[in-house]
Amino acid sequence: MPRYFLEVAYKGTNYSGFQIQDNAGSIQEEVEKALAILFRKKFELTGSSRTDTGVHALQNFFHLDSEELINPKALYNINALLPGDIALRNLFPVAPGSHCRFDATSREYRYSLYREKNPFLADRAWFYPYTLDREKLNGAAELVGQQKDFTAFSKRNTQVKTFLCDIQESGWKEENDCLVYRVVANRFLRGMVRGLVGTMLQVGRGRISLSQFGEILQSKDNRQTDFSAPGHGLFLFRVNFPVSIFEGTV
């Protein structure tokens, strides 16, 4: 049966997350609804990377199976059925065994802060008008890059077998009037990026020391982690796959 990767971008403000759930709107629900209307049958989508309430994505993926070939030109019609805050970018035919979650080699998240009032950033970044020590922030980000076990930065009641993550890049930079934390890893835990951002900001403001941040990283205890960074400042920026996944696409 033909399998397809479906690339999607969305503004998460009006949704309770990426994955379908009971009694709450999700990105997956809206896409499945649009597909069902257009093709007059139900599709079950599998997602690449779950995002929480209010979190945005410049790139995320679903995969789906179809008994019939789907022409990529159908994207226009599917997009016409979707709300304005969700857009399908591409439809890629892939090998039947390809999996948009397990075959991904890494994900990149970016969290943006802005320090001067700006109505055009209000729902896409966190207004944070406090003095921050950039050297300490980057020192904390460097420690993140050296860590493997992120138990202390995972929210409770999460169903995972391991808290190990391979951090490939971690750092702060200025970008488009924002201070942005960029982190790339093979996988992320529930609430992990927001917990890292919130706790690193405590270092940048001098509320905790760099050594205390390192202790929290090592503690495997999330009671000292600051998860207060709101979802609207967070973007899933990119999901990376081996080039071979997309060989032969149209």
Dihedral angle, C-alpha 107, 48, 71, 34, nearest 10 °:
-120
pLDDT of amino acid 247: 67
pLDDT of amino acid 250: 43
SS3 content of the chain, % helix, strand, coil (to 5): 30, 25, 45
Reading the block at residue 48, the tokens are 């690449």
Q: What is the C-alpha separation between 61 and 167, in angstroms, rounded?
A: 21
DSSP letters, 119-186, are TTTTTTSEE--S---HHHHHHHHHHHHH--B-GGGS-SS---S--B--EEEEEEEEETTEEEEEEEES
Residue 52 annotated among the catalytic residues of the structure: yes
Which of 22, 52, 85, 103 does the annotation list as catalytic? Answer: 52
Question: pTM to 2 decimals?
Answer: 0.93
Q: What is the C-alpha separation between 25 and 17, in angstroms, rounded?
A: 8
pLDDT of amino acid 76: 96
pLDDT tens column, 161-186: 899 999 999 999 999 899 999 999 99
pLDDT of amino acid 90: 95
The set of residues, in sequence order, having a beta carbon less than 8 Å from that of 238 and lying 6+ positions away, is: 58, 59, 107, 108
Neighbours of 232 (CB within 10 A): 20
Tell me the torsion sign for CA atoms 205, 209, 213, 219: negative
22-61 CB burial, b ≥16 within 10 A, e <16:
eeeebbbbbbbebbeeeeeeebebbbbbbbbbbbbbebbb
Reading the block at residue 214, the tokens are 């390192």
Collect the ranges in the chain with pLDDT lower than 50. 249-250
Q: What is the C-alpha separation between 222 and 242, in angstroms, rounded?
A: 34
Show the domains of the chain with their CATH numbers.
3-103 (3.30.70.580), 106-237 (3.30.70.660)
Contact 193/183 with Cβ under 8 angstroms?
A: yes
